[in-house]
Structure 1
Amino acid sequence: MISTKKLSFLFLFLIAQVTFLGAQSLSTYNFLKLDVDARSSSMAGSFVSIENDANSIFYNPAGLSTLTEKKASVGFFKYLLDINSGNVAYSQKYKDLGYFGVGIRYINYGSFDKYDEDLVNLGTFGANDIALSLGYANKYKDRFNFGANLKFIYSSYDEYNSSAVALDAGALVQLPEYMMSVGASLLNLGTQLKPYMDTRENLPLDLRLGISKRLEHLPLTVNAGFCRLADNYDKFFDRFKNIIIGGEFNINEFVDLRIGYNNQQRQDLKTGTSIGLAGFSAGLGIKYQERYRLDYSFNSLGKIGSTHRVNIGFNLN
């Protein structure tokens, strides 16, 4: 007979996998494939080529060396099933050594009742995941930016826990004469140090490519790219269905409107003939006194529901 511990672990593991629709793969720590902050998620995660944002540490560490001042960001993420998440990012240049950053993302699945085989209540148990990223980035001849993160991951489901170490690496090329930037990153390249049970599992390796273009006669930046290019597919070109597109429209120097579309997520969340707004996202950014920024995002998961994120950004110079 399966032990109570194994039953509770398997139940919570199943809940975690269902939660991350749109991020399925034969891997663990799939929370790492969720978009992190409000600005990036409002543009469907098309963030690998974005400049001057501390949250680049979660998508492309090379973006840290495009920062023009010390920056920090603190955010909260309301997910499905009363699942809550938080994130913190900070980056600055240190003398002539380069740019250093730190990023933390945390997700709490809440409390669950635990029962034995006879349905006797044994109390409650909790579950959470956390990842700490330590980043470094620098420039080569002004245009070319490169960076890497060392990432530590810890996960706990009831009495089962796991840990891992991973590497993120990326590059970003700035083309100011074309008002354009191009980026690429490889995320979550690593291994489990301690598995949940007896078998080691793969980390959710993610290869991303992207381009950002500021339009010449319109205050609009268009971001387009691909994510999950490292996932396994029967046909090679199927991976390019993972296209993500985002736009940021500057209403004025204080207000930005954003919209995004994730093609693969829309297909993953299709239920029957109904699909609704699944895969679409939108958001708003408000700046105050050049030192503070409030970002909000809304992401539709179709009939399953929707998610909301809020971030507060700080320029610390």
Structure 2
Amino acid sequence: MILRMRHRAPNLLSGIAVLQRWAVVLIFLTALPGPALKGQTGGDNTYEFLNLSHSAFANATGGISVASWRSDLTLPYFNPAMLNAAMDNDISLSFSSWFAGIRYGYASWAHSTATAGNFAGGISFASYGTFTEADEAGNITGSFTAAEYGFNIIWSWQIDSSFSVGVNLKPVISNLERYFSAGLCADIGATYRNERLLLDAGLVIRNAGLQLVGYTGDGGEPLPFEIIAGATKRLAHAPFSFSLTLRHLEKPDMTFDYNPEDDAGQGGFGEDILRHIVLGVEILPSDAFWIGAGLDYQRRAEMRTGQRTGMAGFTAGFGIRTKAFELAFAHGAFHPAGGSNHITVTLKPDIIFKKTEHAEP
């Protein structure tokens, strides 16, 4: 789907200058003391909820998308450069159900200007539920809750018809029982579009920042820093598009030997490469309906049980859209025992209210 821009983008030199300024900010953040930006992937970082994907489309096509240029306001959450003028005044609401009663979601709104680029604001949350509180003797003393919140301030700049850059500034707060933490991080991304080749590409540096206030008073816990690259190729004469995403480019070795007696996950160099890869496919039977499927090889490799893998790592979903709204659903299989469900609703108030006005007598 080709998105028409509302205004002429600023020139290339201006866009590069803006990108350079934000790059300096991120370099400063990564240079701060402490282990905040070591390339770890799971269980070693604070604020891991920042890696949860809120887009039903992305969750349907492998779990992540940094290079699918479309009018979907949830996609700039992972690559801010994908925020574009076609999303002007859009409202997006996402909700996901996870394991053990965990729920998370995201709400955002976008606004485009003719001279200052595109802006979006959003809030994400992860609610871990209510827990039983007990003392050291096992006596029940009450209950407590745990939740985390992220605030997204997104800006993007259309350099020309092919290149875009974007930044997502993210203050973070976390409340786990009586323990509180706060942090600040940012994403910086870029996209490239080639309409002649029907090719989209993206590169993003995510979660560069630091923990400002630690749970015990001291900060310095590492954040889930990541470098991601991806590409999406559409076919000229068939309703298909294919995506390839490479995760954790900052960490060459993605293997984790949790059972030294089982060498099934030790595949050498080839296994290292595969664990970076997320594959996706989108089928467009019509402009009003899409179907998606994908595979996250890292998830599949880590979530197998013995010799059983089932559908772990595979994802699927669909979306129904009109000019005024889009409703999308996705399911991701994490484990042979089950998976997660995701719903995204995107509304275009300008079109909805315009239709309402025309309907009035």
Given the two structures, how large is their TM-score scaled by the length of structure 2? 0.78
Q: Which residue of 2 aligns with 1:311?
A: 344
Q: Which moved more, 1:24-33 or 1:67-76?
A: 67-76
Q: Which amino acid letter does the alignment assign opposite residue 179 of structure 1?
A: L
Q: CA RMSD in A?
A: 1.9
Q: Could you tell me how far apart the structure 2 residues matched to 1:284 and 1:265 are? A: 21
Name the amino acid aligned to 2:149: I
2:81 is the alignment partner of 1:47: no
> Contact between 1:61 and 1:170, CA under 8 Å: does it hold in 2?
yes
Q: Deviations over 1:44-82 (max 9, x none)?
A: 134100113211221100011363643221011000001
Contact 1:209 1:227 (C-alpha < 8 Å) held by counterparts: yes
Match of 1:118 in 2: 137
Give the equivalent residue in structure 1 for 2:301: 267
Paired position in structure 2 for 1:229 = 249
Q: Does 1:100 align with 2:133?
A: no
Q: Which whole-Å CA distance do the structure 2 matches of 1:300 and 1:96 have between them?
A: 43
Letter paired with 2:188: A
Matched, 1:207 2:241: no
Q: Which amino acid letter does the alignment assign opposite residue 24 of structure 1? A: G
Deviation at 1:97, TM superposition (A): 0.8
Aligned mate of 1:301, from 329, 334, 339: 334
For residues 186-216 of structure 1, the C-alpha deviation after alignment (integer angstroms, 9 at most, x for no partner) is 1100000101124520100011100011111
- For 2:96, which of 49, 62, 77 is the aligned residue? 77
Q: 1:150 aligns with which of 162, 169, 175?
A: 169
Q: Secondary structure at the match of 2:50?
A: helix
Secondary structure of 1:74's counterpart equals: strand
Confirm whether residue 35 of structure 1 aligns to residue 53 of structure 2: yes
State the match for 2:19 in structure 1: none
- Matched residue type, 2:220: R
Picking from 128, 153, 165, the partner of 2:184 is 165
CA-CA distance at 1:107 after TM superposition: 0.8
Tell me the SS of whatever aligns to 1:166.
strand
- Matches of residues 247-258 of structure 1 in structure 2 within 5 Å? 247-258=281-292
Moved more, 61-70 or 142-151: 61-70
- 1: CA distance, partners of 2:246 / 2:43: 16
Change beyond 3 A, Cα 1:276–1:110: same
Aligned residue identity for 2:59: S
Return the alpha-carbon distance in structure 2 between the equivalents of residues 116 and 90 of structure 1. 44
Q: Which amino acid aligns with 2:347?
A: F
State the TM-score, normalized to the length of structure 1: 0.88
- State, as a whole percentage, how many aligned pairs show the same letter: 26
Point out the structure with the larger strand share. 1
The letter for the 1-side match of 2:241 is T
| Matched-pair contact (CA < 8 Å) for 2:191–2:201 | yes
2:185–2:210 Cα contact (<8 Å) kept? yes
